[in-house]
Each structure stands twice: as structure tokens, then as C-alpha cells.
Amino acid sequence: MDDTQVSEQTAESTTASTTGAISAQDRIEIAEILSFSSHLLDNRQWDMFGEVFVPGVRLSAPQGEFDGPAGVRRFVESVDLARFPATHTLNSIVEAVDEDTAVCWSRMLLLTWDRRVACGDYIDTFRRTADGWRIERRTVAPRNDSASAALAEGGYAPAPYAYAMFDDAVLAAADRARR
């Protein structure tokens, strides 16, 4: 074995031991799917949802449960699109469950037409399919509003990705801001 082969073998074993059951390449592909999903949502490209979601995707949100890509579309259309028009920005943490499953916790920032920022969390379960990584389940929780407080306690987020507990003062301020 020459020095190059030893170096490659060491890099592969280090990657596997430090990143869990999925490779660095898997993590890149998952990050790209998350980014692509934001672009599809922002551009209202509903017909391309199959590129990011499995056919049986389930979305959970304060507004209810939504099944399949058509359900994801119904959820997005139920949101005030005039207020949350077209800019999702995510930062995400990927946690391997096994070699074909990962959970991602993404902080979402939405830039609104009135130049305000809304924020929330996506908790996505990814599954490896024949076509690559796809989102199997998405939980959406707005931050700092009373609707998301119910999801925060005992919600879907696996440990250690629990939502921050909502301070009553923050919730009261959010309610006042809506009036």
C-alpha cells in the first residue's frame, strides 16, 4: 500500500467514525436537498416537489397534518403568501439515525415583503431512496408565537433537538405585536 492509499483509507475511516452512519457526501446531498426545497417553495414550483419529498411525505404544523406533495402544497398555500413571499434561508444540523435515515434540524428565516423577518424550525426526517435522499417527514414550528408553543413541549423533535422553551414575556410581546 503506497502513501496515497494509506492517506485515502485513513480519511475514509476518520469520516465514518466522526460523522456517524452516513458519509460526508450524504451530508452534502442532504444539505443540497434542503436548499433546493427552499428554492422550490420560494418559486412555487409545486410540480418539482418529487425532487425533494417522498410520495408519502407527512408535514406537521400548527395548522394540522398534511400528506403527500399535494398536502405540502396545500400547507404552503394556506400560509399568508403575501406576508411570507419568497425567501427561505436555512441553517441545518444533520444527525444520522442509520445509513439510510437522517434527521435534520433547520433554523428557518423568512424575509417578508414588509422587510420583517419571521423565523421557525424545520425538523426533517430524510430517507435514502433509489433517487437519492428525500424528505419523508417535516415538522414546521414558527418561533416565538403561541401557536408553536404547543409543538415545543413533547413535540416530534428528537433529543437533543428539542425546541427552546418559550418565555411568557416573548409570547406576550408577540401577541401585542399582532394587534
Q: At what angle do helices 24-43 and 3-19 cross, to 10 degrees?
A: 60
pLDDT in tens, 92-137: 888 888 899 998 888 888 877 777 777 888 889 999 999 999 999 9
Please say whether the beta carbons of 60 and 138 come within 8 A: yes
User: Which set of grid coordinates corresponds to residue 152?
Assistant: 415545543
What is the rounded CA–CA span in Å between residue 69 and residue 59?
Answer: 9
Q: Could you tell me which of 90, 96, 135 has the C-alpha nearest to residue 110?
A: 90
For the domain 24-153, what is the CATH code?
3.10.450.50
What would the mean pLDDT of 63-77 be, rounded to a whole number? 91
Prediction pTM value: 0.69
Q: CA 106, 150, 162: angle at the middle one, nearest 5?
A: 40
Q: 177: pLDDT confidence band, cut at 50, 70 and 90? A: very low
Residue ranges per structural domain of the chain? 24-153
pLDDT at 49 over 60: yes
